[in-house]
Chain A
Amino acid sequence: MAVLEVDDISFAYGGHLVLREINMQVERGEFVSIIGPSGCGKSTLLALIAGMRTAVVGNINFEAGSGTQRAVVFQDFALLPWKNVLANVSMGLAYQRRDLSRREREEIARKYIDLVGLRGFEKKFPYQISGGMRQRVGIARALAVEPEVLLLDEPFASIDAQNAEILRKELRDLVNEQGRTAVMVTHNLDEALYLSDRILLMGTRPGCVREDVVVDLPHPRGPEMQNPADQRRYQELRSRLWEHLIQEVAKEKEWMNSDQVERI
């Protein structure tokens, strides 16, 4: 059985249908990305999976397990400015693992702080560290609750290009080593291709899943790929994603020009 099953989800907000009959399955250990034009509701879908919003129709099922179902890494980090790195990483544990002592929770937090390379920064506050480091804290905080599914909402969009590249690689390694399952929303085609086993392409108005693309390429991907066949395949997949986005944007434009807009 899939570790995460989104079953015919629909969602409306403010009188508009935002998501329509979304279905998706994520297998254990899979890395799935969701790509789509702005406003297609991909972040809303992630928020639904995260339990931060409730679907109007449909179900979201996690494989029955003892641990935490999910944890989110946010685009804007969403760290508490008044808590230091250690306290921020312990945050999820403090709310979910009240059975553990503070010391035990901090021990787990320290383990993940080490894993994201922030040893020695435990006592620093978010405003004292760089954007890249802040997102490392965000990643450590999410991993520390050892979730069945790691949810990533454009995790590298607020970080400078160089740090984003480094973090992408580190995230890939961490997820692999720990055998974590991940669902990521992104705008960045290369990021999706670099990290994912599967990419869902979303359409808009209302948001829906149009295509399910399997990324059948070995790691590491991107500029590091030496095999010409892999390089060709990468370009092929990239063009396909790009085509999809172009089409969706064109549809959006058509819709904007049509008389339907007046009805809103």
Chain B
Amino acid sequence: MTTQQIPAREAEGNHLAAIAVATRPSWFARHEKTLLPLLTAIAVIAAWEAFGQAGMINPLYFSYPSAIAEAFAGWAVAGMGADLLASGKAFGIGLAVALLGIPLGMLIGSVRRLDLALDPIINGLYSTPMVALTPLFVIIFGLGIPATAAVVALMAIFPLLILTIEGIKTVDASLIRAARSFGAKKVDVYRDVMFPSIVPFIVSGLRLAIGRGIIGVVIGEFIGAVAGIGYQIRADAGVFNTPKYLAGIVILVAVSVGLNVLLRALERWLAPWRFVDDHN
């Protein structure tokens, strides 16, 4: 067999290097993932503000960014701290109770018959509109933080419970077999195989739990509270203070987005192998 000699041509090489450079994506293309959503958001807010400044928005029905910001600033110096504290407490207590869904889910997920027995009840409760239960909690706990916390807990526990059960059921059986073949005891399997496997499910569960928990705070405070962001939103809506009412919604969105960003970072830190899609 003969091998063909390929002559090294300096000029040709330079030419190809230039072509290679030309294939580099433009500055915008390289940053489009950040720029596109950012620019869109700015454009929408600017247009919204322009409509507002032009007097095309009836302040009774709706508001616009600068008016909302003004209401926000006013609220911040008068009472927002107390409202945030009340809502934060209800959310925190409720979510802490909902975390019980994780050990509960681990138990149910690992006992097949328990799972079979409880599945319809769990799914039934998950589908129940918890809003409808809020008055019940007010009857039980009275007006205040406990009633709201109860709504949050009930809203948030189901995604955690269901995803933990799902996670346990989808643990790679070959990993459990491998660990056992190397002498792992039951606790070893739980600590080294089961729990790390379900971390991504727990994080997904937390993401849903946070979203539903925030809904829970608002619903709970609409009916069962005397302070808090949700309470304030309803109070402001009742007196047609639309800018302040929308400022409350801005807070809810900001908290929700902030917590989800935090969670994403937590997941990357806890389960880095999840972010590598290649399997070989």
Q: Which residues of chain A have a CB within 8 Å of any CB of chain B?
A: 47, 50-52, 68, 70-72, 74, 76, 78, 80-83, 91-92, 95-96, 125-128, 130-131, 141, 145
- Contact B181 A52, beta carbon cutoff 8 Å: yes
* Complex Cα gap A91–B280 (Å): 22
A91-B182, A131-B280 known; A82-B271 Cβ under 8 A: yes
- Contact A80 B192, beta carbon cutoff 8 Å: yes
**Residue B196 CB within 8 A of the other chain:** yes
* Complex Cα gap A71–B180 (Å): 11
Q: Is the interface of B mostly helix, strand, loop or mixed?
A: helix
Can you list 25 residue pairs at the A/B interface with Cβ under 8 Å? A47-B177, A52-B181, A72-B182, A74-B174, A76-B174, A78-B175, A78-B178, A80-B175, A80-B179, A80-B193, A80-B196, A82-B196, A82-B271, A91-B182, A92-B183, A95-B179, A95-B183, A95-B184, A95-B185, A95-B188, A125-B272, A127-B273, A127-B276, A141-B182, A145-B182
Of the candidates B183, B185, B278, the one having the most CB atoms from chain A within 10 angstroms of its own CB is B183
* Complex Cα gap A81–B271 (Å): 9
* Complex Cα gap A82–B269 (Å): 11
- For residue A154, give the distance in angstroms from its CB to the closest CB of chain B: 13
Q: Which residue of B lies closest to A126 (CB)?
A: B273
- Contact A92 B192, beta carbon cutoff 8 Å: no
A81-B273, A82-B196 known; A95-B174 Cβ under 8 A: no
A95-B184, A131-B280 known; A78-B177 Cβ under 8 A: yes
- Contact A91 B174, beta carbon cutoff 8 Å: no
Chain B positions within 8 Å of A130 at CB level: 280
Chain A positions within 8 Å of B188 at CB level: 95
Of the candidates B178, B188, B192, the one having the most CB atoms from chain A within 10 angstroms of its own CB is B178
* Complex Cα gap A39–B243 (Å): 70
User: Of residues 248 to 280 in B, which have CB atoms within 8 Å of A's CB atoms?
Assistant: 271-273, 276, 278, 280
Q: Which residue of B lies closest to A160 (CB)?
A: B280
* Complex Cα gap A140–B276 (Å): 24
- For residue A149, give the distance in angstroms from its CB to the closest CB of chain B: 12
Chain A positions within 8 Å of B280 at CB level: 130-131
- For residue A171, give the distance in angstroms from its CB to the closest CB of chain B: 18
Q: Which residue of A lies closest to B183 (CB)?
A: A95
* Complex Cα gap A83–B184 (Å): 15
Chain A positions within 8 Å of B183 at CB level: 68, 92, 95-96, 145
User: Of residues 186 to 200 in B, which have CB atoms within 8 Å of A's CB atoms?
Assistant: 188, 192-193, 196
